[in-house]
Amino acid sequence: QVQVVESGGGLVQAGGSLRLSCAVSGRTLYTYIMAWFRQAPGKEREFVAAIGRRGVNTYYTDSVKGRFTISRDNAKNTVFLQMNSLKPEDTAVYYCAADDGPPLRPSARDRYDYWGQGTQVTVSS
C-alpha cells in the first residue's frame, strides 16, 4: 500500500522561506510522477508544481515561478518543495500527490491516485 506523508509546514512572515517534504512509502519513488497542490479556505485545490520521475522535467503554476522549486531524491523516497519569497496569498494547506501513469497532464488533479493528508502553510503580512 502506498503512503504519502507531508511535513515542513508552519507559520512564516511574508518574504520568508519554508521547505516542505513528502515521504513516499510502499514502492520506489521512481515509480511516480510527483506533484504539490494547495487549497486555501473556500477555494478549489490548485496545482502548484510537478516533477518527472528522473527529476529532469519540472512544471509550475505561473504564480510560483521563480519563487518555488520542486525537487526529488529517489534514493530517499522524498520529494521537496522549496518556497522562497512567500506571500500571504500562498497561505493554504499543501498536499503532495503521486501517480504511476504516463508523464501526461502533470497539472491535472484528477490524474493523481495517491495523496497525503496535507500540511498547513500560513504566511503573515
| pLDDT tens, residue by residue, 45-75 | 999 999 999 999 999 999 999 999 999 999 9
Other residues' Cβ atoms within 10 Å of the Cβ of residue 125: 9
Other residues' Cβ atoms within 10 Å of the Cβ of residue 49: 24
Taking the C-alpha atoms of residue 44 and residue 19, their distance in angstroms, rounded to an integer, is 23
Contact 51, 38 (CB under 8 A): no
- Whether 1 shows a pLDDT value over 90: the answer reads no
Confidence of residue 86 (pLDDT cuts 50, 70, 90): very high
pLDDT of the residue at 100 = 92
Q: Residue range 104-122: average pLDDT?
A: 95
At 105, list the grid cell.
497532464
Give the closest residue to 116 by CA, choosing from 96, 98, 99: 96
